[in-house]
């Protein structure tokens, strides 16, 4: 069953199967087909129909066939909390769970202290330390088993490699993407920072995870004994973990009504827009850990009876679609933006909303004047939840490119229409912006690029391709008159700040074939531009992860841009030569599974590359799977089925002697 949207006409079991599908997709790729609000609405609707269904005992999702990394059993169950969707539900739970707080006589009320903290909307991780050293990082998974993401987690900010405590300690917390960075650079490819985080931690290449800039905040500890939740926080702070600040926690007690008011006040006081991470509610924990343990758990230890999550109400507003504005992306794709009747939503006035593509407009059956239900993703980016009422006139789909008036045609998936004019100004601006962004050049943004490409001399554009950006000096008198002497000097300095790049980064910056960081897989078999010229579709499809369509798209893109490539390499950019410690592993490929001490898995992967070898997934062409001797997972099973050599770390290191 592979649905793409909630369908309340289906059977209860089919609806639950769809939510399980959403859980699995989030756990493995970070890309669920529905929004968080749609998920929650369907979750609560099903819960009202059958509150005792086993689905509500489950934690997260885990599907073996879709995960990169070994699946490992948690030594201690990593569950999650039952949740109340509003403060009234929380009060009902509190009355039912803590009847001693509801005594009519105040003098008879037992004192119960609760610890409140933010509920970060990220990806839950468990960090295992032995003798002060980080040895394993697992995702929550289904609570009993998680995915080993140790090698990628090493590149997450605030995940400490060592701690001073020498006992076995398991630190639990949330991995997240800074929301401001996400909405500036990544919105569109992922729906929200939570999905981005999950997709980024499950990358095959740890360097991609590193580039994604994830962070970690710690909030729990198991294996080591503490008296209170407050003591746990003190320990985490002493070990220099990133933890919730003093304004992000609260200690409350009193009668039922007093506690409910304090919880509501705490939630009301939170300025969610000022936080670096998204939060979708708060967590209410019994501060006394021994008392909480005595109350027990449900669902085989997954959910503590003593604690509860309380969700924020999601703010949604209705407004009208006044018009649709069309833009053009880097690859020529038409990008529609809805112009709205202004509406106040989550503290700001919303006048525009992305309509994504033509397929979205058709699927939602949008018309000018229709009424839309909006919500803000992470309280920052507005998006359309659904159409509430029809409008009075159809949305006009352009018949020519909005930027250059060239003919447009459907893309291969019939999702949107694209402009095929390689000289289209909008595409040129996006191509140049992508180039400098991937080369990590600062100070060359959309506004400056647009202004540069709009300048003409006797009707001829002065900047019509990337290489022209490196020749701005020949028109110094013109550009200084537009930008000013100092500003133009700064532009030139920024353009020339990066002069040497690797071939794979060069390809990625050009955006050839939309292969992104997989460019290094190409350059591993063809390390020079001349070698790439000789590649065939068959050569590229032999690389794991490349199918015919992607291989052909790359080769077509390479040939189509070969003239620009030659100009760039001749006078603008110099390619860095890869330096190898030796060629002892040349022509060999390795995959590592499990946890390794010294050298670590990440260090061994660097050893492979520096000695001419290649890191790869498990496939029939793999030289060997390097195993830690303990963890049995999906990689091991696949390697056995393919009859591949399985060697130890010691065997691997001997190959370098």
Per DSSP, 612 falls in state: T
Last residue of a domain, one of 311, 340, 364: 311
Q: What is the per-residue DSSP string for 416-438?
A: SEEE--TT-HHHHHHHHHHHHHH
Whether 351 and 227 map to the same domain: the answer is: no
Whether 401 and 453 map to the same domain: the answer is: no
On whether residue 144 sits in a domain, the answer given is yes
In this predicted structure, what is the pLDDT of residue 602? 72
* pLDDT band (50, 70, 90) for residue 441: confident
- 67: tokens are 């995960």
Whether 23 and 45 map to the same domain: the answer is: yes
In this predicted structure, what is the pLDDT of residue 299? 61
- 371: tokens are 């009424």
Q: What percent of the chain has pLDDT over 70?
A: 87
Q: Of the ranges 71-85, 366-380, 383-397, 553-567, which one carries the lowest mean pLDDT score?
A: 366-380
Question: Using an 8 Å Cβ cutoff, are 93 and 101 in contact?
Answer: no
CATH number at residue 364: 2.40.50.140
- 478: tokens are 């013109």
- 500: tokens are 């040497």
Q: Which residues contact 512 (CB under 8 A, 6 or more apart)?
A: 519, 554, 557, 558, 561
The Cα 83–Cα 310 span in angstroms is 6
User: What confidence tens digit (pLDDT) does each residue in 9-64 have?
Assistant: 677 777 888 887 777 666 555 566 776 667 766 776 776 676 656 665 554 544 43
In order of 157, 616, 649, the CA distances from 601 in angstroms are 18, 13, 9
CATH number at residue 562: 1.10.150.20
Q: Which residues contact 96 (CB under 8 A, 6 or more apart)?
A: none
User: What confidence tens digit (pLDDT) does each residue in 167-201 have?
Assistant: 999 999 999 999 878 877 776 667 678 888 988 89
Q: What is the mean pLDDT of residues 237-242?
A: 92
Whether 234 and 124 map to the same domain: the answer is: yes
Whether 2 and 117 map to the same domain: the answer is: no
Question: Please, what is the angle between helix 446-453 and helix 476-483, to 10°?
Answer: 130
The Cα 209–Cα 139 span in angstroms is 15
Query: Residue 574: pLDDT above 60?
Result: yes
Whether 239 and 295 map to the same domain: the answer is: yes
Task: For the chain, count helices (H), then strands (E).
Answer: 24, 30
On whether residue 583 sits in a domain, the answer given is no
Query: Residue 321: pLDDT above 90?
Result: yes
Whether 173 and 96 map to the same domain: the answer is: yes
The Cα 93–Cα 259 span in angstroms is 12
> Partners of 326 in the beta sheet?
336
Q: What is the mean pLDDT of residues 618-646?
A: 80
Question: Quick one: CA dihedral 338, 343, 346, 349, positive or negative?
Answer: positive
Locus of tokens 């006081």: 269
Question: Using an 8 Å Cβ cutoff, are 186 and 200 in contact?
Answer: no
The H-or-E segment that residue 354 falls in is strand 348-354
In this predicted structure, what is the pLDDT of residue 378? 47
On whether residue 582 sits in a domain, the answer given is no
Whats the size of the chain, residue-wise?
657
* Ramachandran angles phi, psi of 220, nearest 5°: -155, 160
Q: Are strands 460-461 and 500-501 parallel, antiparallel or unpaired?
A: unpaired
> Partners of 119 in the beta sheet?
281
In this predicted structure, what is the pLDDT of residue 174? 96
In this predicted structure, what is the pLDDT of residue 229? 93
In this predicted structure, what is the pLDDT of residue 582? 81
Q: What percent of the chain has pLDDT over 90?
A: 33
The Cα 477–Cα 293 span in angstroms is 76
CATH number at residue 623: 3.40.50.10190
In this predicted structure, what is the pLDDT of residue 326? 93
Whether 90 and 184 map to the same domain: the answer is: yes
In this predicted structure, what is the pLDDT of residue 120? 92
On whether residue 245 sits in a domain, the answer given is yes
On whether residue 64 sits in a domain, the answer given is no
In this predicted structure, what is the pLDDT of residue 599? 82
Q: Of the ranges 264-273, 428-437, 578-587, which one carries the lowest mean pLDDT score?
A: 578-587
Whether 154 and 231 map to the same domain: the answer is: yes
User: What confidence tens digit (pLDDT) does each residue in 151-165 have?
Assistant: 999 999 999 999 999
Whether 240 and 95 map to the same domain: the answer is: yes
Total tally of structural domains belonging to the chain? 6
From the list 239, 281, 287, 245, the residue with the least C-alpha distance to 264 is 281
Q: What is the per-residue DSSP string for 211-228?
A: HHTEEEEEEEEESS--SB
Q: What is the mean pLDDT of residues 621-635?
A: 77
Q: What is the per-residue DSSP string for 490-542?
A: HHHHHHTT--EE-HHHHHHHHTGGG-GGGHHHHHHH--SHHHHHT--HHHHHT
In order of 121, 372, 402, 407, 548, the CA distances from 333 in angstroms are 32, 24, 11, 12, 22
The Cα 26–Cα 10 span in angstroms is 22
Q: 51: helix, coil or strand?
A: coil
Last residue of a domain, one of 575, 610, 638: 575
On whether residue 183 sits in a domain, the answer given is yes
Whether 211 and 104 map to the same domain: the answer is: yes
Whether 80 and 143 map to the same domain: the answer is: yes
Q: 575: helix, coil or strand?
A: strand
Last residue of a domain, one of 473, 495, 517: 495
The H-or-E segment that residue 603 falls in is helix 601-610
On whether residue 301 sits in a domain, the answer given is yes
Q: Residue 45: which domain range? A: 1-57
In this predicted structure, what is the pLDDT of residue 93? 92
On whether residue 65 sits in a domain, the answer given is no
User: What confidence tens digit (pLDDT) does each residue in 374-417 have?
Assistant: 987 545 568 888 899 999 999 999 999 998 999 999 987 788 89
Question: Using an 8 Å Cβ cutoff, are 87 and 267 in contact?
Answer: yes
Exposure string for 228-265, b = 16+ CB within 10 A, e = fewer: bbeebbebbeebebbbbeeebbbebebebeebbebbbe
């Amino acid at each position: 069953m592979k649905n793409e949207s909630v369908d309340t006409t289906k059977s209860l079991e089919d609806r639950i199967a769809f939510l399980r599908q959403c859980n699995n997709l989030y756990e493995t790729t970070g890309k669920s087909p529905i929004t968080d609000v749609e998920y929650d609405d369907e979750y609560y609707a099903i819960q009202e129909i059958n509150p005792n269904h086993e689905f509500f005992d489950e934690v997260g999702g885990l599907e073996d066939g879709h995960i990169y990394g070994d699946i490992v059993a948690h030594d201690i169950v990593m569950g999650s909390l039952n949740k109340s969707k509003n403060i009234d539900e929380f009060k009902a739970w509190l009355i039912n769970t803590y009847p001693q707080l509801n005594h009519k006589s105040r003098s008879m009320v037992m004192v119960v202290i609760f610890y409140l903290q933010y509920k970060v909307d990220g990806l839950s991780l468990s960090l295992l330390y032995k003798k002060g050293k980080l040895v394993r990082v697992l995702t929550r998974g289904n609570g009993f088993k998680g995915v080993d993401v140790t090698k990628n987690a090493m590149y997450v900010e605030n995940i400490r490699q060592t701690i001073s405590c020498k006992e076995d300690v398991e630190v639990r917390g949330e991995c997240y993407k800074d929301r401001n960075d996400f909405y500036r650079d990544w919105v569109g490819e992922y729906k929200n920072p939570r999905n981005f985080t999950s997709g980024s931690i499950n990358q095959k290449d740890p360097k991609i995870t590193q580039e994604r800039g994830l962070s970690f905040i710690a909030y729990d500890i198991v294996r080591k004994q503490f008296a209170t939740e407050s003591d746990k926080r003190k320990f985490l702070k002493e070990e220099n973990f990133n933890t919730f600040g003093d304004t992000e926690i609260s200690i409350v007690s009193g009668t039922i009504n007093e506690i409910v008011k304090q919880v509501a006040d705490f939630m009301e006081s939170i300025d969610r827009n000022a936080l670096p991470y998204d939060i979708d509610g708060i967590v209410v924990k019994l501060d006394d850990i021994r008392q909480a343990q005595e109350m027990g758990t449900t669902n085989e230890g997954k959910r503590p009876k003593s604690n509860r999550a309380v969700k924020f109400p999601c703010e949604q507003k209705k407004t009208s679609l006044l018009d649709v504005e069309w833009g053009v992306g880097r690859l020529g794709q038409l990008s529609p933006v809805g112009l709205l009747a202004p509406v106040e939503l989550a503290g700001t006035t919303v006048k525009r909303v992305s309509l994504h593509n033509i397929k979205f407009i058709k699927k939602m059956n949008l018309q000018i004047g229709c009424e839309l239900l909006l919500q803000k993703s992470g309280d920052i980016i507005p998006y359309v939840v659904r159409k509430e009422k029809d409008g009075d006139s159809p949305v006009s789909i352009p018949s020519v490119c909005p930027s250059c008036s060239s003919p447009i045609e459907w893309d291969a998936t019939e999702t949107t229409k694209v402009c095929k004019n390689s000289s289209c100004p909008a595409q040129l601006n996006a191509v140049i912006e992508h180039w400098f962004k991937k080369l990590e050049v600062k100070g060359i943004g959309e506004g400056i690029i647009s202004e540069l490409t709009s300048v003409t001399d006797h009707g001829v554009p002065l900047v019509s391709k990337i290489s022209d950006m490196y020749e701005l000096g020949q028109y110094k008198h013109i550009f200084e008159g537009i930008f000013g002497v100092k500003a133009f000097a700064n532009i030139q300095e920024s353009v020339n700040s990066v002069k040497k790049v690797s071939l794979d980064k060069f390809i990625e910056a050009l955006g050839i074939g939309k292969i992104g960081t997989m460019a290094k897989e190409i350059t591993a078999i063809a390390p020079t531009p001349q070698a790439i010229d000789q590649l065939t579709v068959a050569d590229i499809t032999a690389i794991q992860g490349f199918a015919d369509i992607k291989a052909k798209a790359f080769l077509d893109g390479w040939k189509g841009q070969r003239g620009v490539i030659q100009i760039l390499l001749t006078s603008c950019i110099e390619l860095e030569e890869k330096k190898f410690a030796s060629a002892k592993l040349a022509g060999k490929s390795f995959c590592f599974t499990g946890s390794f001490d010294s050298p670590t898995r990440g260090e061994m992967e660097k050893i492979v590359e520096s000695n001419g070898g290649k890191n790869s997934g498990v496939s029939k062409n793999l030289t060997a799977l390097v195993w830690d001797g303990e963890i049995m997972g999906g990689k091991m099973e696949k390697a056995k089925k393919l009859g591949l050599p399985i060697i130890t770390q010691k065997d691997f290191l001997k190959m370098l002697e």
